[in-house]
């Protein structure tokens, strides 16, 4: 029999907080993709030019990757059935790790389920309570979470400020704990490149471990997309290189590259590796095919950079603030259109969408207060016509909303 009890909803504070977001104008609904992740595609039933994806090289729909996924599914099924350390290591997982290690010219590689788990799992495994992490203030959330999980003491330096990083290293130079210097290779909100050469030198000078998160540099910077270590010719000097398989590589996953012992250690102590199931065979096979494409079709990266140069030049010429004044200047296919106000950016994004351009609005706390932006990301597969149409819409809507003079 039903009894009526009056119970206040213990989750009602969530509703309050959502209402607060709605009041601020930063509440959002998820946009739903109806077809493929492509430069022109359909979100919520509307065809748009897509400036929001990380599909830098167009690999999400590459025929060779698609074929590899289908073949692997036919041959090996849809799941791995266990975590890597129990029964879930398939030949394809090993083949992918060996392939990445060769590509990056390092001893060994371990693949995690995502870039997020690669960072969080690695930082938390390498450091402990007595240790120190010297971290760029704009490093990715997965690094921050990994640092917190490690319980090491976290020292944050001003963005790309190597002199400040040195001050922090100097302060702790007589401490017995281990030290880790860590930076993003490419910063995802501003598109600038991390201070790798200076930080690597500091790590050497102070006996610290050097680690880089190359999520947005994988497949984008360096020879055939080998990342920032290759871009800066720092081979052999960066101890831990993280990359992602979810962005330019087109599928899903994250990896860590370094010495054989680093990788063996992560096999034993990386918690997402130990406690979360490995990739389906289709994902591993897709990624293997992707690294072949990186080597065989370098024209994709060239096209990506051609498009990037054109896009930045034209956006700047329209009069948009694309960074560089009071914000870092982009050096990569990520180009922010900085507008400032959080509510305005959400309105701007909605209006652009209505006119056929998908550009995601990003506001506080993802970027600093007053630095709200549309983050645009160029890909190799946007045509010049796509770009000109998008520029046209940006100009029209920008003028109408008073964002452009
Ligand atoms: C996207 C991103 C990640 C996470 O990668 P996933 O593979 O999507 O989990 C980690 N670090 C940075 C800097 C990123 O931009």
What is the residue-wise DSSP string for 241-282? Answer: EEEESSSTT-S--EEEEE-HHHHHHHHHH-HHHHHSBPPPHH
Joined together, the tokens standing for residue 33 give: 């993709």
Mean pLDDT of 331-358: 96
**159 shares a domain with 36:** no
Among residues 85, 126, 93, the alpha carbon closest in space to that of 240 is found at: 126
Furthest-apart CA atoms within the chain: distance in Å: 73
Domain end among 248, 267, 296: 296
403 DSSP 8-state letter? S
Residue owning the nearest CA to atom 6 of ligand 1: 115
Q: Are residues 259 and 354 in the same domain?
A: no
Pocket lining: 184 vs ligand 1, CB cutoff 6 Å: yes
Domain coverage including residue 66: 62-296
Kindly report, residue by residue over 237-262, the tens digit of the pLDDT: 999 999 999 999 999 999 999 999 99
Q: pLDDT over 90 for what percent of the chain? A: 93
Q: How far is the CA of 138 from the centre of ligand 1 (A)?
A: 13
What pLDDT does 25 receive?
Answer: 81
Do residues 270 and 322 both lie within one domain? no
Strands 240-244 and 254-258: antiparallel
pLDDT at 5: 73
Does ligand 1 lie within 6 Å of residue 321's CB atom? Answer: no
pLDDT tens digit string along 348-362? 999 999 999 999 999
Counting ligand 1 atoms within 8 A of each CB, the residue from 146, 228, 243, 244 with the most, and so the one to mutate, is 244
- Report the CATH number at residue 263: 3.40.640.10
For residue 377, what pLDDT is reported? 98
Distance CA 57, CA 263 (A): 28
Residue 233 in tokens:
């010719």
Q: What is the pLDDT of residues 153-170, one digit of tens each?
A: 999 999 999 999 999 999
- pLDDT higher than threshold 90 for residue 263: yes
124 given a catalytic annotation: no
The total domain count for the chain is 2
pLDDT band at residue 1 using 50, 70 and 90 as cut-offs:
low
What is the value of pTM for the model shown? Answer: 0.96
Q: Is 244 in the pocket of ligand 1 (CB under 6 A)?
A: yes
Location of structure tokens 């030290």: 179
Ligand 1 centre to CA of 115 (Å) is 5
Looking at the fold, whether 39 and 95 belong to one and the same domain comes out as no
Residue 3 has pLDDT above 70, yes or no: no
User: What is the rounded average pLDDT of the residues 329-339?
Assistant: 96
Model confidence over 297-312: pLDDT tens digits? Answer: 999 999 999 999 999 9
- Which residue has a Cα nearest atom 12 of ligand 1? 215
Q: Which residue, 296, 325, 347, sits at the end of a domain?
A: 296
Nearest-angstrom CA–CA distance, 309 and 384 = 12
Give the distance (Å) from ligand 1 centre to CA of residue 146: 13
């Amino acid at each position: 029999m039903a009894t009526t009890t009056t119970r206040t909803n213990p989750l009602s504070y969530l509703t309050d907080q959502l209402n607060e977001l709605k009041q601020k104008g930063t509440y959002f609904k998820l946009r739903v993709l109806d077809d493929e992740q492509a430069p022109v595609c359909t979100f919520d039933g509307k065809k748009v030019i897509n400036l929001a994806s990380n599909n830098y090289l167009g690999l999400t729909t590459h025929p060779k990757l698609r074929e590899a996924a289908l073949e692997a599914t036919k041959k090996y099924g849809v799941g791995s059935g266990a975590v890597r350390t129990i029964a879930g290591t398939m030949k394809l997982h090993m083949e992918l790790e060996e392939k990445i290690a060769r590509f990056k010219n390092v001893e060994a590689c371990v693949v995690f389920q995502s870039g997020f788990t690669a960072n969080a799992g690695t930082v938390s495994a390498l450091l402990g309570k007595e240790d120190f992490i010297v971290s760029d203030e704009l490093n990715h959330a997965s690094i921050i979470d990994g640092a917190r999980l490690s319980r090491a003491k976290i020292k944050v330096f001003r963005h790309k400020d190597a002199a400040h990083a040195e001050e922090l290293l100097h302060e702790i130079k007589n401490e017995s704990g281990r030290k880790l210097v860590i930076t993003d290779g490419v910063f995802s909100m501003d598109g600038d490149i991390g201070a790798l050469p200076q930080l690597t030198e500091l790590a050497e000078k102070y006996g610290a471990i050097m680690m880089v998160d190359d999520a947005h540099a994988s497949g984008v910077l360096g020879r055939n997309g080998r990342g920032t270590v290759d871009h800066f010719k720092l081979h052999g000097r960066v101890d831990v290189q993280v990359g992602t398989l979810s962005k330019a590589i087109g599928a899903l996953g994250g990896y860590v590259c370094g010495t054989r012992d680093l990788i063996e250690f992560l096999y034993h102590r990386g918690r997402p590796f130990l406690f979360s199931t490995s990739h389906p065979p289709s994902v591993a096979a897709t990624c293997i095919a992707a690294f072949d494409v990186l080597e065989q079709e370098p024209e994709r990266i060239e096209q990506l950079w051609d498009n990037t140069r054109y896009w930045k030049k034209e956006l700047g010429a329209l009069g948009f603030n694309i960074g560089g004044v009071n914000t870092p200047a982009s050096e990569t296919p990520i180009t922010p259109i900085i507008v400032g106000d959080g509510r305005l950016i959400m309105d701007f994004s909605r209006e652009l969408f209505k006119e056929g351009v998908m550009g995601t609005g990003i506001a506080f706390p993802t970027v600093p207060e007053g630095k709200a932006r549309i983050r645009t990301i160029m890909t190799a597969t946007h045509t010049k016509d796509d770009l000109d149409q998008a520029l046209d819409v940006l100009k029209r809507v920008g003028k109408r909303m008073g964002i452009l003079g």
